[in-house]
Amino acid sequence: MEHTELVGVIRELKVEAERCNQRRMLVIADDRLSCLALLKRILREIEDKRKIVFTWQKDFNVDAEIEELKNSERYLGTTYDFLAIDLHHSFIPSDLGKLVNIVRGGGLIVLLTPKFEDWLHSTNFFHQVILTPPFTLGDIKRNFVKWVIKKLWEKDGITIIEDGLIKKMGKMKCIVQERKVEIPSSFRFPRSIYELTKTQDQIRVLQMAESLGNRGVMVITADRGRGKSSVLGMIAGVYAGKFRNIGVTAPDLNNLTEFFKFVERTLEIKGKKFEHRRGKIKGRNFKIEFVEASQINPKKYDLLIVDEAAGIPVPLLLSFLRARRVIYSTTTHGYEGTGRSFSIRFLSELRRRKRELISLEMNEPIRYSKDDPVECWIFDTLLLNAEPPLLEDFKLKSLKYRKYDTGELLEDEKKLRDYYGIFVLAHYRNNPNDFGILCDAPNHEIRTLEYDNHVVCSVQLAREGNLQGYEDDLYFGTTPPGNIVPDVIIKHYRKKDFSKYRGYRIVRIATHPNFMDRGIGSRMLEELKKEDVDWLGSSFGATARLLRFWIRNGFYPIHISPKINESTGEYSVIVLYPRREELKKDFEEIRRRFGKKLVHSLSEIHRNLDLEIARVLLSDLPRDEELVLDDTDWKRLIAYCWGPGNYEVTVDVIYKIASKYFFLRERPELNEEQEKILIGKVLQHRHWDEVGKEIGKGGTYVVIELREIMRKFLKGVFEDEILEFQCRFHGEDQKR
């Protein structure tokens, strides 16, 4: 391509982008050396100060900041005038979502790619990451690049130069809109703070924050580039001094660059003196500090600000409510793709807890104007704005089970968006990489339940097993990618032969949000049980509700992780349903061993496991054992239940009973609360008050109730001795 022609293209795109306050994208598709040569020429013509290039490895020099793609997450919340991404070696879908929105309006984004025909048949680092045995690189599907190229051709504002020729010019018309902000006539915050705002949405947030009372909760949702971090900084700056301790957290401190920038601006306007060290601003009578989410003591803070809340485990988010005031904010359609689900489900939980709640959504972009074509392209390409179908009702018996080839579904974009939109609203931590895996991983498959050609239940499956040749590696400790279920069965239960069986791990199953709890998920599992595999399984963050769903459908727990998952704040549980007859006998043994292992781990490894989750995990184990105690132990138990014995001197006997209870062929009827007491006090060794708090009672109640529980095990045992104790210590008539 001639130098003058390239310069002309760049100038035209820059002039148009700046006039419209939008971004423009340029795709250079060629061999890598040619792409880099063109990039260097472009950078010589670009006068912008803030320029950055991301690449697989820093193996070239350009007139710009240069960074490796693996560090892309550090740049969330930063702002640049020019961005180039070299995609020749690494094309991880989430990298696009993270990086595209660091560019302001008037900026230019350049993608360096192989020639499209070569790109369609190439493999990259992402393919190596998602590959699982026994599949090879030759089995990769290569649908994602095809989808991206399609979207590059379809969308406005994208110029394509391939093999040195301009194949598509991305110029477009736009209506230049003057941004107007109306400051309210009455306000509590200083007018000078309102004058910092750039959009009416930011004005609304400040107004809402003025009325944030004691025990108040505020939830802000917005797409990237809407100025939520900056307005949060204004709020913190205004309240500094009025509140002594203000905490702020986010998945990473680097996400808070804009936040701290606007805290400083606000404090300067107020005339406050302060010192700013990394992650902490301190003044005469206030402190604003960043704290890792897992390290926060909420009670310490007069105000706690949680940015990118959907990236923080839900149990932690709920624990923050112990702060005097909390502001949560999160991205609606960010690279995580989690905000829509977060706002729907998290807000409903806050309302259930009856907290004083203010919620609002920011829509107006601040970094660039409305209808920015690059934002439109990234939303469509990564399905960040996918929504479930509009459907008023359905008939369960009329649902049709469908299997899709990934390429087939990508050709039907409406059906694809219906299918994927259900996932977007069902999962907090939906990620563009999930879409990339679905497109390209050779072992991932698609299933749906549909009514009147509309998707009402979406499933993503992963083929696992069929690992002949890998069984020794698994048995002796190597962990191959994927194959989560075989890995657990072989490593933890020493069943080497399990490697030969073929199964489906249900990666995700989600129902249309309008039709929850109506039997759709169970119907889907019925259909999956008819698939031609030896077993079905799943791995997920454990909640009592989810566990009950799987157990109700014949899938039983076989493993629980020893540590909480940092992403979800939950323990991961694996459930299994054996289809092949020869696996069912082994399965009963595995279930029994799982139960035994869990019982013994509750005193240490899983001491903090939620009592209801523990109860559900233990509730459906094989029951084929007898309770065997010698005469002395029975008599010691009688003394505890009816006489002078106490828990401390009888704990060994009580533990024997509690550890056997869930396996007993015949056992006394205990209600859910009593089973929780047995688990919490006896198996987890928690304090009386701690157990009482979790079941909504006091510690004394637990002390009394545990005796009542143990009495249920004494029916028909040493009845004369029990009557003697009742008479001596309780004044009960022996004739009764």
24 phi and psi, to 5 degrees? -125, 150
Task: For residues 698 and 96, give the distance between their C-alpha atoms in angstroms, rounded to a whole number.
Answer: 53
What residues does CATH 3.40.50.300 cover in the chain? 191-362
Q: Which of 661, 655, 710 is nearest to 683 (CA)?
A: 655
| Residue with the two structure tokens 């990086």 | 99
Q: What is the pLDDT of residue 384?
A: 86
What residues does CATH 3.40.50.11040 cover in the chain? 3-168
Q: Which of 33, 26, 32 is nearest to 11 (CA)?
A: 26
CB neighbour list of residue 516: distance below 8 Å, 6 or more residues apart? none
CB neighbour list of residue 501: distance below 8 Å, 6 or more residues apart? 465, 466, 486, 534, 535, 580, 583
What residues does CATH 3.40.630.30 cover in the chain? 396-617
Across the chain, what does the average pLDDT equal? Answer: 91
Q: Is 276 exposed, middle or buried (0-12, 13-18, 19+ CB in 10 A)?
A: middle
Task: For residues 729 and 344, give the distance between their C-alpha atoms in angstroms, rounded to a whole number.
Answer: 57
Task: For residues 397 and 399, give the distance between their C-alpha atoms in angstroms, rounded to a whole number.
Answer: 6
Q: What is the pLDDT of residue 565?
A: 83
**Is the Cβ–Cβ distance between 27 and 159 less than 8 Å?**
yes
- Pair of tokens at residue 473: 């590696």
Q: What is the pLDDT of residue 458?
A: 97
CATH of domain 3-168: 3.40.50.11040
Q: What is the pLDDT of residue 261?
A: 94
Q: What is the pLDDT of residue 214?
A: 83
User: DSSP labels for 352-406?
Assistant: HTT-EEEEEEE-S-SSS-TT-HHHHHHHHHTTTT--PPP-S---GGG-EEEEE-H
**Is the Cβ–Cβ distance between 683 and 658 less than 8 Å?**
yes
Q: What is the pLDDT of residue 529?
A: 97
Q: Which of 488, 206, 229, 463 is nearest to 360 (CA)?
A: 206
Q: What is the pLDDT of residue 524?
A: 98
User: What residue ranges of the chain have pLDDT lower than 50?
Assistant: 335-337, 734-736
For the domain made up of 191-362, give the CATH fold: Rossmann fold (3.40.50)
Q: Look at domain 396-617 and name its CATH class.
A: alpha beta
User: DSSP labels for 320-332?
Assistant: GGGSSSEEEEEES
Q: Which of 285, 294, 293 is nearest to 267 (CA)?
A: 285
Q: What is the pLDDT of residue 336?
A: 47
Across-strand partners of 113?
Answer: 29
